[in-house]
Structure formats: structure tokens, C-alpha cells
């Protein structure tokens, strides 16, 4: 692996980590500390949801922009917008400021821009490894957010959290210019075919890939909502949950080894996807059918492994579709892909929260997860031959 590839992978992973931490660090505490503004649950709910809603709306525009303009400049623009949102929150210091600030932050939808840099710049040999690193960055960032968000708020203040996010965003700007090399995009070319957004949205291969990432992120958020209940059930207090998540990062080593094996022996990505959907299903069934401390820990490990693997290989499928069917518009495709990630996360949180509120049953949430996994597996197997024809 050459130095340029290493710089791209490290730079984009650090940027992705910064963005995910900035996004999720508020989640564990925004409900409780948001009430310090003497407001109601509705406005707090709006302050949480407005970010995701605007992110979903802006993913495709940023993806289209990534096909036309300098991607490093787009990342910096997004980070500046994010910092401006933080300043609004800190200055106004009330629920209206929180809603406006989070709404402004939602505009900075730079995920497809970051992914398109890897998409255009990393060779096939290292592409899956790069996407696996992004997937691992996502999970580690999620865990860091859950652990350090409450700590910073408790030790300093709620506003200190936004100062911390601002510092991270400034660091992201420095990394963009100093670590990531200048990249000439294959998508930014003259005389390329006219963009037909309808044909892209309804392309059968893309629908299956976007459906897959949608399902994956429903299951991701749903699992992070139910795992704390399971850990309490086996006698692990909330204050010690971070230790379980920390130990679970050892599964990333297994994931890295598996990715290298699959790359070395050139396994078909579609077979890998089906197998790890089954592994994900097993991880849920272990908790649903037989509940014990050992099986729960194994289940969490399998969850991390299967998520990391699928998160790494889906962009590889997307890349093959981009190259063979819809060239020149990888930024747009990644924008649609990221939209489905955010939509899946939002629906996963909504469905799981609603079920827990109504039924108070973690097992019912897990049952819904099993149904989603079976539906996902059925859709992929049913369309297996169509995907195989495209050498996926």
C-alpha cells in the first residue's frame, strides 16, 4: 500500500470519525440536559429529529456537487456550516437556538463527499479495506459518543459539548488540507452523459444496494437501543456498559482478518453479503431464543463483526454498479446511498422506541429485527441471479 493511499484512508477515516462523533455525542444526554432550557418534550424531540431530517434532504445535493466541484473544498464548506450551527447554539443558549443550530448543522451533509474521495482514489485491491476502516470508524465513533458525551456534560457543562464539537470540526478542516492529498476526480469530466436522476433512483441494482444499507442501519440503531436493556438484565450497570463496548472492539481485528482473506481469494461479494446477513440473524436469535450472559456477549461480538463486514462490502457492490452501469456520477449515487443510511437510522430509532414505549418488551423489538433480516435475506436471494449477471 503506497503512502498516497494510506493518507487517503487515514484522512477520510479521521474525518468520518469527527463527523459521527459530532452527530451522535448529543444523543445520550440531549433529552435530559435539553430540559435545562425549561422547555417541553415536543421541542426537545424537534431538536433531535431536525438534524437527521435535513441531513437526509441534503445528502443528494452534496453528492451531486461532489460530481462537479472540488471535493476537499466541499468538505471544508460543510465543516464551516457545522461550526456556524455550534456558534448559534452556544450564543443563544436556549431551545430555539438548539433547534436552529441543529438544523443548520444538518445542511453539512458531507458523508457522500468523503466516501466519493475513497470511491475515486483507492484501487480495487484496497477499496474493501478502506470501506471496512470507515465502517469501524463509524462503530468506534458511536461508542465514543455514548461514553464521552455524558462525561463532558457532567464534568463541565452542556455548552462545553458544542465547544468540543467545534474544536473537532476545526481539526477536520486542518486534516482535509494537510493529510488528504489533492485528488483529480474521474467524475469531474467534460462531455459526460446527462444525469437522469430517475433512472438512477429506480435502477434495480441500486435499489437492492440502497435497501440493504437501509435495513442495516435500522438494525444498527435498534441494537444499540436494546443492548443496554440486555446488559442490565444480566447485572451490568449502565455506568459499566462502555466497558462491554470497549471489549467488543476486539471483533474489529477478526473483521480485518476476514476482509483480507476474502480479498486474497477473491470471493464474490454477493456470497459474502448473504452469509453475513445470516450471521447477523444468528446474533439476534441467540438473544431471542436462549438468554444467558455468555450468549449475550457472543451475540454482541457477532453483531459488531456482521455490521462491520456488511458496511464494508456494500460500497464495493455500489462501486461495481457505478463502474459498469452508471459511470461518472459516483457522488450522486453515494448521496442516495447516504440518504438511505440516515433514513434507516431514523426509522430504526423510531420503530424501536415506539415498540418499547408501547410494549415494554425488548424481545418484541428483537422479533421485528428478525423479520427485517428475513425480509432482507429473501429480497437478496430472490434477486440473486439478476445481481450475479452484473458480476456482483
Q: What parts of the chain have a pLDDT lower than 50? A: 186-187
202 and 183 together in one domain: no
310 and 368 together in one domain: yes
The number of domains in the chain is 2
137 and 17 together in one domain: yes
What pLDDT does 324 receive?
63
129 and 231 together in one domain: no
Among residues 158, 187, 216, the one where a domain terminates is 187
Domain with residue 10: its CATH number is 1.20.1250.20
pLDDT digits (tens, 9 = 90+) for 113-170: 888 888 777 877 777 778 778 777 777 777 777 677 767 777 777 778 888 889 988 9
Cα(36)–Cα(350) distance, integer angstroms: 24
Among residues 187, 213, 245, the one where a domain terminates is 187
263 and 360 together in one domain: yes
226 and 103 together in one domain: no
Q: State the pTM of this model.
A: 0.77
Among residues 161, 187, 213, the one where a domain terminates is 187
132 and 183 together in one domain: yes
What pLDDT does 267 receive?
61
248 and 181 together in one domain: no
Query: Between the CA of residue 348 and those of 132, 223, 305, 340, what are the distances in Å?
Result: 22, 9, 19, 12
What pLDDT does 389 receive?
62
What pLDDT does 388 receive?
62
Q: How many angstroms separate the first and last alpha carbons of the chain?
A: 25
211 and 182 together in one domain: no
Domain that holds residue 380: 196-392
Length of the chain: 392
What pLDDT does 291 receive?
67
What pLDDT does 81 receive?
93
Amino acid at each position: 500500500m503506497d503512502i498516497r493511499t494510506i493518507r487517503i484512508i487515514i484522512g477520510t477515516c479521521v474525518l468520518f470519525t469527527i463527523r459521527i462523533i459530532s452527530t451522535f455525542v448529543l444523543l445520550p444526554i440531549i433529552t435530559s440536559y435539553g430540559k435545562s432550557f425549561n422547555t417541553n418534550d415536543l421541542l426537545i424531540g424537534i431538536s433531535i429529529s431536525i438534524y437527521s431530517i435535513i441531513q437526509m434532504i441534503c445528502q443528494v445535493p452534496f453528492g451531486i456537487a461532489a460530481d462537479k466541484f472540488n471535493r476537499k473544498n466541499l468538505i471544508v464548506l460543510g465543516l464551516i456550516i457545522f461550526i456556524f450551527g455550534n456558534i448559534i447554539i452556544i450564543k443563544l443558549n436556549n431551545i430555539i437556538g438548539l433547534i436552529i443550530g441543529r438544523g443548520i448543522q444538518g445542511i453539512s451533509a458531507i458523508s457522500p463527499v468523503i466516501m466519493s474521495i475513497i470511491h475515486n482514489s483507492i484501487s480495487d485491491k484496497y477499496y474493501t479495506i478502506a470501506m471496512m476502516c470507515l465502517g469501524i470508524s463509524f462503530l468506534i465513533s458511536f461508542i465514543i459518543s455514548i461514553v464521552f458525551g455524558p462525561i463532558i456534560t457532567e464534568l463541565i457543562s452542556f455548552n462545553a459539548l458544542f465547544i468540543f464539537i467545534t474544536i473537532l470540526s476545526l481539526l477536520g478542516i486542518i486534516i482535509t488540507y494537510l493529510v488528504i492529498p489533492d485528488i483529480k476526480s474521474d467524475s469531474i469530466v467534460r462531455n459526460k452523459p446527462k444525469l437522469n436522476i430517475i433512472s438512477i433512483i429506480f435502477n434495480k441494482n441500486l435499489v437492492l444496494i440502497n435497501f440493504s444499507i437501509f435495513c442495516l442501519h435500522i438494525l444498527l440503531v435498534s441494537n444499540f437501543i436494546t443492548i443496554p436493556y440486555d446488559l442490565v438484565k444480566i447485572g451490568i450497570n449502565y455506568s459499566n456498559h462502555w466497558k462491554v463496548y470497549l471489549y467488543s472492539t476486539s471483533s474489529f481485528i477478526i473483521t480485518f482478518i476476514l476482509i483480507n482473506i476474502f480479498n486474497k481469494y477473491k470471493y464474490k461479494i454477493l456470497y459474502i453479503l448473504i452469509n453475513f446477513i445470516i450471521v447477523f440473524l444468528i446474533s439476534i436469535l441467540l438473544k431471542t431464543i436462549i438468554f444467558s450472559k455468555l450468549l449475550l456477549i457472543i451475540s454482541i461480538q457477532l453483531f459488531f463483526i456482521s455490521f462491520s463486514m456488511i458496511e464494508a462490502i456494500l460500497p464495493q457492490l455500489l462501486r461495481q454498479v457505478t463502474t459498469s452501469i452508471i459511470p461518472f456520477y459516483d457522488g450522486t449515487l453515494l448521496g442516495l446511498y447516504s440518504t438511505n443510511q440516515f433514513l434507516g437510522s431514523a426509522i430504526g430509532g423510531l420503530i424501536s422506541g415506539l415498540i418499547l414505549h408501547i410494549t415494554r418488551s425488548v424481545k418484541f423489538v428483537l422479533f421485528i429485527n428478525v423479520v427485517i433480516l428475513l425480509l432482507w435475506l429473501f429480497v437478496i436471494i430472490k434477486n440473486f441471479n439478476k445481481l450475479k449477471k452484473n458480476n456482483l
